[in-house]
Amino acid sequence: MSYQFQNLTVSKLSVIGAGQIGPDITLHFSKVFVKHGVKLVLVDIAEEALARAKTKIEKKIDKGVDSGAFKPEMAEKMKAGISYTLSYDDIAGSEIVLEAATEDGNIKDGIFRQVETICDDNCLFLSNSSHMQPEVIFKSIVNKSRCLVTHYFFPAERNPVVEIIPSSETSTEITETLLGFYESIGKVPVEVKSSYGYAIDPIFEGLCQTAILCLERGFGSVKEIDKVATEVLGLGVGPFTALNLTGGNPITDHGLDEMHDLLMPWFKSPQSLREATRSGEAWPTAGRGENVDVPSARKTVLAEQFLGAYFSLAGYIIDLGICDASSLDMACEIALVVKPPFSTMNEMGLEQSLSLVKKFCADHDGFVVPQSIEQAAVKGEWKLSRIVSKVVDGVAVFTIRRPKVLNALHKTVMSELQALLEAAEKDSAISGSVITGFGTKAFVSGADINELATYKTPEQGYQSSQTFQAVLNYIENLQKPVVCAFNGFAFGGGNELAMACTARICKKNLPVLVCQPEVNLGFIPGAGGTQRLPRLIGLEKAQEILRTGRPVSSAEALKCGLVLKEVDGDLVAEAVTLVQQISQGNVKVTPICKTPFGAGEQAPAINIGHLSKRIDEILIQAIYDGAQMSLQDGLELESRLFGECVKTKDMWVGVDNFMKNGPRVKAEFVHK
């Protein structure tokens, strides 16, 4: 058995190094590959390390069973699928070898020289490192085209971000394949050009250095500094706590001194960090639930230090030219559990952000104000993109990439999508477009509920609906075909976006493909759902799906005509082909009916369970009155009725319940 991604087949994968992170990486591969029967091998030179690794992995698997993440049968297969060995010969036949040994160039070089004698020339060589450049790690390898660094983040089995660092000799095709491969197994890969420490660690370790310098300067205690850092930057844990949790003192101590020589003079291991590394003692951080009060004057000083450092470090990485601002913004937020740097600067205002940066750099020798921040300040903002664009065989492919919120839509994403489609429409070299989502779980999880929660009047609801509808109407009326490639489920606005496309295809065998769950939150669809779904699959079926908010599988979507086909292989490649076929006239797609199609039907009585009867009345009006109108007039009706929902008590019951309890807790509607 094997796992197939495009032209990469994985039947055997080996991890070398059973220390801190190797077992966690192995555990993630185990979760992903257990259904595919991929053989996993964990290698180490110390029997004690292998024993500890096996205990660690199996303990986490058992914990997954207790939490319901794994079924007992799956857990046993995961355990059985991993072999632990002292012999490098056992890696023979691997398609991928990932080294996760000590952060030492000589050790890594020695490992890969040995691996090269065992594995064939098609095996990919990956090194998990937090700092070292691929040119150093793979210096002795003959075929460097298949060698890359993959930098995982703590904890590796759960933290989705992986930095992908090719060298100048790495095959572009292999890099692209690996980026797609990691996305297909649930990670968020970010390509970074070769540079010591890559893109994210200089920021993390720079914040640790800032925290320690604040301690040495008497700006606060360890506990106070951690507290302010978490509040100001939105960190999950403070810098000192993070160093304790990851055992990061030695790595950071070494890394900062190397960055001093290889990046810029400001980086340097503080004396306190050197001492902590030598002693092996943990930082005296706050205990669980311990309250730490920080005097306001001290809080102000620390806040300025951390914001100035964070913005300066992020800008410095952009100046290096190793990563784009949009990817770094996303990666920092997810990998470090921190506010995204460039989005935060935009929210704060670039003038104030630049002021903090200038103050920080003036106070810290060796740190020059990043040019990128000065340039952003002139423009008034950082230009950030939530959509990844590329051209494949003359077809524009747009991937909505907001993995933290499962690609949820908001007005900024919609306007960006429209601008990209406008450019594709005007480009004579482009035959059409594909819209898909990042990852494997969701195409688009819906509209951003945080925006909805700010509405106070029916007029605001109406205008919001009109804004979204304007973009979808534009997509629907493009002259070039637009194919939606459902890479995962589409809820609410995600399905409404898909229905505005020329055609839709989806991954095969999805138990949940689409859902219009708005009624669960106490409102109706507002981006065309009440009008386009009945026109695409028929009034009778559409009204039941809309009024109950139930999910629809890919098989049902195919049967009722919502999608053209289910795809077992490369979804985007299939979508690109379909665009070409439609544009060439080889495939005919029936356009959506834009004229009245209803004949005065009455809504049947159905069981809507706990859902709001008042919202159901509004929804019925939208569906059945809209069916007797043109599509344009029906969409206008939907917008007005979406605004009417804002006046109901049940919308606020539903939204408040969702914000507090999430989607699994049923709202207690009052039917008013």
Positions marked catalytic: 496, 518
- What is the β-pairing status of strands 96-99 and 395-400? unpaired
188's tokens: 């968020």
- What is the β-pairing status of strands 8-10 and 3-5? antiparallel
* 3-class SS of residue 287: coil
Q: How far is CA 78 from CA 42, 60, 95, 185, in A?
A: 13, 11, 19, 16
Query: Alpha-carbon distance 635 to 646, whole Å?
Result: 17
344's tokens: 């935060």
Strand residue runs (E) in 140-203: 147-152, 161-166, 188-191
Q: How far is CA 116 from CA 91, 93, 100, 135, 152, in A?
A: 11, 12, 16, 16, 23
Q: What is the dihedral of CA 321, 322, 326, 331, to 10 degrees?
A: -150
- What is the β-pairing status of strands 161-166 and 188-191? parallel
* Residues in contact with 85: Cβ distance below 8 Å, sequence separation at least 6, in sequence order: 41, 42, 43, 50
* Residues in contact with 233: Cβ distance below 8 Å, sequence separation at least 6, in sequence order: 207, 306, 307, 310, 338, 339
* Residues in contact with 348: Cβ distance below 8 Å, sequence separation at least 6, in sequence order: none
Closest by Cα among 436, 471, 465 to 451: 465
Query: Alpha-carbon distance 225 to 227, whole Å?
Result: 5
Query: Alpha-carbon distance 40 to 53, whole Å?
Result: 14
Per DSSP, the residues of 494-518 read: HHHHHHTSSEEEEETT-S--EE-TH
Q: What phi, psi does 114 have (nearest 5°)?
A: -70, -40
Q: What phi, psi does 76 have (nearest 5°)?
A: -65, -35
- Greatest CA span in the chain, whole angstroms? 82
Report which DSSP code applies to 489. Answer: E
184's tokens: 């297909």
Strand residue runs (E) in 20-71: 39-43
13: left (phi over 0), alpha (psi -120 to 50) or beta: beta
Closest by Cα among 450, 396, 454 to 421: 396
Contact between 377 and 353 under an 8 Å Cβ cutoff? The reply is yes
- What is the β-pairing status of strands 147-152 and 161-166? antiparallel
* 3-class SS of residue 181: helix
Contact between 141 and 112 under an 8 Å Cβ cutoff? The reply is yes
Cis peptide before 458 (omega within 30 of 0): no
Contact between 267 and 260 under an 8 Å Cβ cutoff? The reply is yes
C-beta atoms surrounding 146 within 10 Å: 20
